[in-house]
Amino acid sequence: MGDWSDMVSILILHPGRCGSHWLLNMLKTLTGLHLYEGYDDGRQIWGTREQMTHGGLERLRATTDLVFLLRDPRDVLVSMGAYSQNVVQGHFDAEMRSIWQDLGWFRWYLEMHGQIKHCTVRYEDLWTAPLQTMRVVLAYLGRIVPSDEIIAKVIEHESFIQRTGRERGQELASHHLRKGIIGDWKNVWNENTKNQFDTRFHRELEELGYADQVL
């Protein structure tokens, strides 16, 4: 691994397709700090998943604030599937198989999140309570929290409608910001797929806090 200590102030770790650029842009504006996102458990920095151990994160934590960004894995799968089909022509096929087979990144998160100081942010909370969620993140980062008016202006500037010209729910399949809603898996998956996923991964969904979502 290279020396990232002078480059990264805040590292956002996420599984992909969960609003990382959205959160990244808001935090950059509100903190003025250099941020980096580690797609798929940070291998862009560390090279392999095995190196993202508690010790490795602890060393990084000495100079870097860690933020885990979560999203319902069912919505991640649906978003990856649409993005893969319409934008990058299959680039995410391997990641989709990994999530379906073993919830890859999410299992890693459940293993790691209790071992290291961090802040967990949910995609769903960014949509339903963006002001409160951003205040919590900024407080965790130990930064002076701007006024609600300033935070609200940044949230509005980075909103789905401002970035796409579309209302949430208006789909443009070829766009990186495709639809911008929560729970789209309920609209896309048939009952068999919903039940199959819930049967196979109910424990993981429960630990992640998503088991109470209506099928």
Q: What is the DSSP letter of 124?
A: H
Give long-range contacts, CB 8 A cutoff, 24+ apart: 43-49.
Answer: 45/1, 45/4, 45/8, 45/11, 46/1, 47/1, 49/108
| pLDDT tens series, the chain, 215 aa | 344 344 457 788 888 888 888 898 999 899 887 676 665 444 444 334 444 455 566 666 667 788 899 999 999 888 877 766 644 444 445 555 666 666 788 888 898 888 888 899 999 999 999 999 999 999 998 878 899 999 999 999 987 676 666 666 566 555 566 566 789 899 888 898 888 889 889 999 999 999 986 65
pLDDT score at 155: 95
pLDDT score at 207: 95
Distance of alpha carbon 54 from alpha carbon 41, whole angstroms: 12
Give long-range contacts, CB 8 A cutoff, 24+ apart: 94-97.
Answer: 95/16, 95/40
Angle, helices 20-31 vs 130-140, to 10°: value is 60
In a domain, 17, yes or no: yes
pLDDT score at 40: 46
In a domain, 215, yes or no: no
Q: Which domain holds residue 92?
A: 10-208
- Which of 139, 3, 114, 100 lies closest to 54, judged by CA? 114
In a domain, 77, yes or no: yes
Look at the chain and report how many structural domains it folds into: 1
In a domain, 198, yes or no: yes
CATH number at residue 164: 3.40.50.300
Distance of alpha carbon 213 from alpha carbon 215, whole angstroms: 6
Task: Could you list the beta-strand ranges (E) of the chain.
Answer: 10-14, 35-38, 65-70, 119-122
In a domain, 101, yes or no: yes
In a domain, 214, yes or no: no
In a domain, 4, yes or no: no
In a domain, 3, yes or no: no
pLDDT score at 206: 95
